A = this chain, B = another copy of it.
Amino acid sequence: MTLLYSDVEEELRAAVRGLLADRCPPAAVLGRVESEPGRRGLLDSVNSVYDLGLWKTLAAEIGVAGLLVPEELGGAGAGLGEAAVVLEELGRAVAPVPFLTSAVMATRALLPTGDPLLGELAEGRATAALAVSFAASPYAPGRGASLRLDAGGRLSGSVDQVASADVADVLLVPLDGVLYAVEAVEGASVEAVPSLDLTRPVASVRFDGAAARRVGECDVAEVLRLGAGLLASEQLGVAEWCLETTLAYVKERHQFARPIGSFQAIKHRLADLWLDVVRARAAARGAVADPSPLSVAVAQAWNAEVAVRAAEEALQLHGGIGMTWEHPVHLYLKRAKATQIALGTPGDHRAALASLAGVPGPE
């Protein structure tokens, strides 16, 4: 077990960072979020905030879509560490691509089934979303969902706040321990709703007797736990961008004829924030090296808070400019706040530690 980055991971990071710097700078992301979300059906992703062009490039040129898929199924057969590094970089860029939802969570749900769809996902030819609320957690996997299967194997009901559903070619629906795939437009609707996180909007998914293919068995809590563990790396990336951008700003911005970064109160706050980020890095790597329920709960409990704190400090220390739409810091604040809720709040993860770490509650 190591908490360091491997050379392979660092190379992957450099490749992803380079591509994102080129294709996904903050101004480009801001431009995308100007468009209004609208009501639409499955497979109509023209107006989405998600940048599917970028996603195709990430999948085709760097192969990020297949990282978690074994080579024999058409993937790269890489480990969690590689996926985590990609998420750090995507977090740093608040890149609107469905990596976490399709290449991590949907892929992980499919893996035990060996379904051929895995190959398509791995190559980026198709994108899938798990039809689970992004506000669900390993401890409450059914939150926000109300689904039933009729005798003819058709699916009805709804799931709220599904991340990346509006760009999914396939919806993967876990129900009573079984995973179903919904590929048809008929009987399924996906309605994007105005989302707090502009760069990873959520949608309402409704089925009305949709044809559902039984894919295999699915432990959805485990899938959400894996997602939560890796989300800690994305949160680390968000926090790092906020800290670094703020450091650059306070070195540059002068008030009272001094860089504001020379004022001791600012310096001490940034030192404390740095220390939080240092520990977020250790926590994220801990959840990669040992993806146990305990490590995941620790990483989420810590990193979700650090990402929010970093974004809030970034906004405050940018002063008025931080309150403007034209500065990208709000994209990070919204991402951070949304991921505080996603896949379990810090409080949910701390509550889980009561038994995982042997800190029992009042009797």
Contact = CB atoms under 8 A, between A and B. Distances in A.
Interface of A: 263-268
**In terms of DSSP, what is the predominant structure of the interface of chain A?**
helix
A363 to B, nearest CB: 15
Task: Please tell me how many copies of the chain the complex holds.
Answer: 2
A264 B267 CA distance: 10
7 contacts: A263-B264, A264-B264, A264-B265, A264-B266, A265-B265, A265-B267, A265-B268
Contacts of A264: 263-266
A142 to B, nearest CB: 19
7 closest A-B pairs (Cβ-Cβ)? A264-B264, A264-B265, A265-B268, A265-B265, A263-B264, A265-B267, A264-B266
Nearest to A268: B265
Contacts of A266: 264
A197 to B, nearest CB: 27
Nearest to A266: B264
Contacts of A267: 265
Contacts of A268: 265
A255 to B, nearest CB: 13
Nearest to A269: B265
A357 to B, nearest CB: 21
Nearest to A271: B265
A268 to B, nearest CB: 4
A80 to B, nearest CB: 34
A264 B264 CA distance: 5
